Amino acid sequence: MATRKPTAKSNVSAEELQSYYRDMLLIRRFEEKAGQLYGMGLIGGFCHLYIGQEAVVVGLEATAKEGDKRITSYRDHGHMLACGMDPKGVMAELTGREGGYSRGKGGSMHMFSKEKHFYGGHGIVGAQVPLGAGLAFSDKYKGNDNVTFTYFGDGAANQGQVYETYNMAMLWDLPVIFVIENNKYAMGTSVQRATKSPSLWERGAAYGIKGEEVDGMDVLAVKAAGEKAVAHCRAGKGPYILEVMTYRYRGHSMSDPAKYRTRDEVQKMRTERDAIEHVRELLLQGKHATEDDLKAIDKEIKAIVNEAAEFSKESPEPALDELWTDIYA
């Protein structure tokens, strides 16, 4: 990715920029805390952090309206926070406690909120893609103009069911936005080692689906592309693909030493392209906020995350009879 072009003068308000800053910072601090709790043995199993990719979900959530749906893979904490789910409930699910969104029965990879129209949290790479199209199908069937954001990674983009879904989504004009979060690595396999296609979004052309590549380290660029995609879907023109170029700073999961890339590569992204720093600069340079304003936001976010961490430790483990509940409705 090239270094950031100066963001064109836009009519972004101070309020809007501050909300992006706050939302992205919440995800980052939350994930750092999750990493810490994992280190302490409070979170078990697989834990995939979203650090580095915050602008993707925050930019796209800025284009959603009530009733819009979202579904993603196992790297899902950021999506949940961005759509307004309670950090306490998310963190308590990570620690496997009663206060978690799935009452401790789902874990990091399997969380849901019907209230916030968040449909998971799916652990099988690519499986959420037809599910997302199915959610969009239900909206079209009911005759409303809601859309479904269906997120998947560059790794999932090589699964066959993605293309089965592209075909049907276009055939039936489903209001689904396929968001490919291209963070360059499918676990340890770089995109270049997994495919010779030059870009992933262009594969949609085989089915007649429009799309584009987006700078995923620039929340304003993500939002602008999201607005275009959402308008397309709401107008009944069928699906749209956004390949959002992003980067994860941490390993694939907590136990990934990330030896497949250099420390310099990661460091370069962090110093030159960080999405949160970008908004911070916009806020300061545009005189939309002072250092003190931002410090106050930092403090506020830290308090929310600490409160979530405390809750996730204090919430009891699920009652033992929970083993046998929720198998059948």
Partner 1 sequence: MATEILMPALSPTMEEGTLAKWLVKEGDTINSGDIIAEIETDKATMEFEAVDEGVMGKILIEAGTDGVKVNTPIAVLVTEGEEVPTDGAKAETAPAPAALNGEEGKTAAPATAAPVPAAPKADTTPDWPEGTKMKTQTVREALRDAMAEEMRAADEVFVMGEEVAEYQGAYKITQGLLDEFGARRVIDTPITEHGFAGIGVGAAFGGLRPIVEFMTFNFAMQAIDQILNSAAKTLYMSGGQMGCPIVFRGPNGAAARVGAQHSQCYAAWYAQIPGLKVVMPYSAADAKGLLKTAIRDPNPVIFLENEILYGRSFEVPDLEDFTVPFGKAKTWREGTDVTIVSFGIGMTYSLEAAERLAKDGISAEVIDLRTIRPMDTDAILASVMKTNRLVTVEEGYPQGSVGNYITSVVMERAFDYLDAPVINLTGKDVPMPYAANLEKLALVTTDEVVEAVRKVTYR
Q: Which of 235, 296, 303, 323 binds partner 1 (CB under 8 A)?
A: 323
Q: In what order do the strands lie in the sheet with 69-72?
A: 118-121, 69-72, 148-153, 176-182, 240-245, 210-215
Residue range at the interface with partner 1 (CB under 8 A); choices 5-13, 96-104, 208-216, 234-242: 96-104
Q: Is 303 near partner 1 (CB under 8 A)?
A: no
Residue range at the interface with partner 1 (CB under 8 A); choices 78-86, 181-189, 255-263, 277-285: 255-263
Between 28 and 184, CB nearer to partner 1: 28
Q: How far is CA 57 from CA 62, 63, 84, 231, in A?
A: 8, 10, 11, 17
**Are 80 and 295 within 8 A, CB to CB?**
no
Q: Report, in Å, the least distance between residue 177 CB and partner 1.
A: 14
Q: Report, in Å, the least distance between residue 174 CB and partner 1.
A: 8
- Distance in angstroms (rounded) separating the CA atoms of residues 27 and 37: 15
Residue range at the interface with partner 1 (CB under 8 A); choices 12-20, 102-110, 207-215, 227-235: 102-110
Q: Is 1 near partner 1 (CB under 8 A)?
A: no
Q: Which of residues 188-207 bind partner 1 (CB under 8 A)?
A: none
Q: Is 29 helix (H, G, I), strand (E, B) or coil?
A: helix
**Are 54 and 24 within 8 A, CB to CB?**
yes
Q: How many residues does the chain have?
A: 329
Between 117 and 288, CB nearer to partner 1: 117
Q: Is 152 helix (H, G, I), strand (E, B) or coil?
A: strand
Q: Is 262 helix (H, G, I), strand (E, B) or coil?
A: coil
Q: Report, in Å, the least distance between residue 13 CB and partner 1.
A: 29
Applying CB under 8 A, the site for partner 1 has a residue count of: 73
**CA-wise closest residue to 323 among 96, 120, 113:** 96
Q: Which of residues 16-35 bind partner 1 (CB under 8 A)?
A: 32-33, 35
Q: Is 247 near partner 1 (CB under 8 A)?
A: no
Q: Which residue stretches of 67-194 are H helix? A: 77-82, 87-94, 128-142, 160-171, 191-194
Q: Which of residues 104-143 bind partner 1 (CB under 8 A)?
A: 104-106, 110-114, 119-124, 127, 129-139, 141-142
Q: Is 296 near partner 1 (CB under 8 A)?
A: no
Between 118 and 240, CB nearer to partner 1: 118
Between 122 and 232, CB nearer to partner 1: 122
Q: Is 184 near partner 1 (CB under 8 A)?
A: no
Q: Is 327 near partner 1 (CB under 8 A)?
A: yes
Q: Is 8 near partner 1 (CB under 8 A)?
A: no
Residue range at the interface with partner 1 (CB under 8 A); choices 44-52, 193-201, 206-214, 282-290: 44-52
Q: Is 319 helix (H, G, I), strand (E, B) or coil?
A: coil
Q: Report, in Å, the least distance between residue 300 CB and partner 1.
A: 16
Under DSSP, the state recorded for 142 is H
**Are 304 and 87 within 8 A, CB to CB?**
yes
Q: Report, in Å, the least distance between residue 15 CB and partner 1.
A: 26
Q: Is 44 near partner 1 (CB under 8 A)?
A: yes
Cβ contacts of 47 within 8 Å, gap of 6 or more: 34, 35, 38, 94, 108, 253, 254
**CA-wise closest residue to 157 among 238, 244, 59:** 244
Q: Is 269 near partner 1 (CB under 8 A)?
A: no
Helices 14-39, 87-94: inter-axial angle, 10-degree rounding:
20
Between 33 and 232, CB nearer to partner 1: 33
Q: Which of 71, 222, 275, 294 binds partner 1 (CB under 8 A)?
A: 71
